[in-house]
């Protein structure tokens, strides 16, 4: 099966809004499923990127603080 070019986001959103299951052809359904899978893949990539950023930030924080959650004194005056 030949791969289809991805539609413009506006056109795809219009297509989803106008989607009628009773009049859909198998190709229409397949295209809709492929579009949604692509959207979900993009969301997953965004979230994984955010997790990687947080992981790197945590590594830098641990390097700076030596693993302590705070620098300085605790509330009771004892050095942290």
Which residue segment(s) compose the domain that 50 sits in?
Answer: 26-62
Domain total for the chain?
1
**C-beta separation of 80 from 70 below 8 A:** yes
Whether the per-residue pLDDT at 46 is higher than 60: the answer is: yes
pLDDT 10s digits, 18-45: 667 777 888 888 988 999 999 999 999 9
Give domain status of residue 19, yes or no: no
Q: Give phi and psi for 78, each to the nearest 5.
A: -85, 135
Whether the per-residue pLDDT at 2 is higher than 50: the answer is: no
Average pLDDT, the chain: 76
Give domain status of residue 39, yes or no: yes
Give domain status of residue 68, yes or no: no
SS3 80: coil
pTM over 0.75: no
Give domain status of residue 34, yes or no: yes
Give domain status of residue 2, yes or no: no
Give domain status of residue 57, yes or no: yes
């Amino acid at each position: 099966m030949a791969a289809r070019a991805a539609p413009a986001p506006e056109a795809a959103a219009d297509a989803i809004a106008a989607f009628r299951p009773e009049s859909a052809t198998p190709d229409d359904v397949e295209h809709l499923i492929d579009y949604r899978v692509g959207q979900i893949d993009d969301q997953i990539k965004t979230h994984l990127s955010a997790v990687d950023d947080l992981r790197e930030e945590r590594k830098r924080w641990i390097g700076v603080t030596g693993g302590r959650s705070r620098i300085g004194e605790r509330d009771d005056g004892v050095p942290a």
